[in-house]
Structure 1
Amino acid sequence: MYMPQAFEQKDPDLVFGLMSSLGVATAVSNGPEGMIASHVPVEIDREGGAKGIIRCHFAKPNLQPALIAEGAEVLFIFQGPLAYVTPAWYPTKAETGKVVPTLNFAVVHAYGTGRAVEDPIAMRRHLTALTDHFEAEFPEPWKVSDAPDEYIDRMMKGITVVEVSLTRLEGKWKLSQNRSEGDRRGVTEGYRTEGRADMQALMEDFALGGRQG
């Protein structure tokens, strides 16, 4: 990923935090006819392996997990908040007119190699972790144990679980850090006006003298 120094995010807490909060990623790897990509739910195990582990699952007919299990490198793309920046938000527009539109965003690229998980107990543990993550926001969370065991066992036969040991992580928080303070404040106010509280918070944290990448 192209990485200007001003946008590089090195804080592992923030990088893993974004990955964990999303719970989904795009898995990209080489296939027999070129690049192949799948959109998968992911379980993040920050303490596993040397640099962390990602567990995910694919529909059984999908060819990608077999390729990953054979040692093909896989890239997981975690797309966090993303929003347009209009030049109208920059004070520089009125001063010089030398401005153009852009996008601001937070994204993580996670690389690694994997293996297939065939142990039914490990598979169920993975599905339980995913379910607990996504159900946490509900007042009465559904649990895997709420369904009959034989039904869950039958459903597991339709998926392939993959465990990927991470080898490299890249975090990019592009939040107008290369603009003047006045322009950064203009963008922050623009997001506030547009109701983009997520982008406003990121701007306040990383582009207005708060946290650093």
Structure 2
Amino acid sequence: MYVPAHFAADDAAVHELLANHGAADLITATPQGLLATLLPFVYDPQAGEHGALLGHLARNNEQWRQPVLGEAMVIVRGPDAYVTPSWYASKAEHGRVVPTWNYVTAHVYGRLVVHDDPAWLDALVRRLTDRHEAASPQPWSVDDAPPAFIAGQLRAIVGVEVVISRIEAKLKLSQNRPAADIDGVIAGLEARGDAASAEAVRLARR
């Protein structure tokens, strides 16, 4: 990943992204070529030296069956947004401005481990469910469904774990712009209703 120094992410920002992202793309190079699946992951910082990402695939998905050539990669994304130069104060000053795209992303590399164990899968789906149901006024629980039904669902999936070896992360959030331009970007994003991207820019300027 191309990461200019002013867009580099520190360890705290990387941890925040991995701990709070939604779904991410699992990409593997295989004898059949590149394969990719979008799926939710749980970040386990205690697994291995650099942590691990835990998720699951449909059993019918061929990706988990294929030998992985080298490392697997997971592309994790945070907020992203189009930035119009109309938001920049410098547009009125000299006009030498162009559109851009702000984004937060990490390329997570590691060894892919397949888990075909019902107990491991049960623990994983409970972690995923608890995390994403936490904000609901009436959170759904795995135990709300009949046990036989859940057992059948678990048989239809296979667990995957990416044991992290390295991470390349980038926070492109207008850090290269003058302060007045950054203020304009925050105001523009908020007016557009993109509070998440506006807050990311606000945090990146500190």
Contact 1:71 1:114 survives alignment (8 Å)? no
Matches within 5 A, 1:101-180: 101-180=99-178
Q: Which amino acid aligns with 1:99?
A: V
Rounded Cα–Cα distance in structure 1 between residues aligned with 2:186 and 2:91:
16
Matches within 5 A, 1:27-106: 27-67=26-66, 72-106=70-104
1:10 paired with 2:31, answer no
- 1:193 aligned partner: 191
Rounded Cα–Cα distance in structure 1 between residues aligned with 2:121 and 2:190:
43
Contact 2:75 2:105 survives alignment (8 Å)? yes
Q: CA deviation digits over 1:143-164, x for unaligned, max 9?
A: 1122222221211111111122
Rounded Cα–Cα distance in structure 1 between residues aligned with 2:28 and 2:53:
15
TM-score after normalising by structure 1: 0.90
Identity of paired residues, percent? 37
Q: CA deviation digits over 1:107-136, x for unaligned, max 9?
A: 122111121112211111011111111111
Rounded Cα–Cα distance in structure 1 between residues aligned with 2:74 and 2:19:
13
Rounded Cα–Cα distance in structure 1 between residues aligned with 2:145 and 2:37:
27
| 1:60 CA displacement | 0.9
What's the secondary structure of 2:14's corresponding residue? helix
| 1:102 CA displacement | 0.2
Q: Which amino acid aligns with 1:117?
A: H
Contact 1:56 1:163 survives alignment (8 Å)? yes
| 1:88 CA displacement | 0.9
Contact 1:112 1:164 survives alignment (8 Å)? yes
Q: Which amino acid aligns with 1:18?
A: L
Rounded Cα–Cα distance in structure 2 between residues aligned with 1:9 and 1:164:
21
Q: Which amino acid aligns with 1:38?
A: T
Please list every run of 5 or more consecutive structure 1 residues that lacks an aligned counterpart in the other structure.
none
Rounded Cα–Cα distance in structure 2 between residues aligned with 1:71 and 1:196:
39
What's the secondary structure of 1:108's corresponding residue? strand
Q: Which amino acid aligns with 1:14?
A: A
Between the two proteins, the alignment pairs up a number of residues equal to: 206
Q: Which amino acid aligns with 2:41?
A: V
Please list every run of 5 or more consecutive structure 2 residues that lacks an aligned counterpart in the other structure.
none
What's the secondary structure of 2:96's corresponding residue? coil
Rounded Cα–Cα distance in structure 2 between residues aligned with 1:151 and 1:194:
43
Contact 2:24 2:38 survives alignment (8 Å)? yes
What's the secondary structure of 1:79's corresponding residue? strand
Residues 37 and 16 of structure 1: CA distance in aligned 2, closer, same or farther (over 3 Å)? same
TM-score after normalising by structure 2: 0.93
RMSD, aligned α-carbons:
1.6
Contact 1:73 1:111 survives alignment (8 Å)? yes
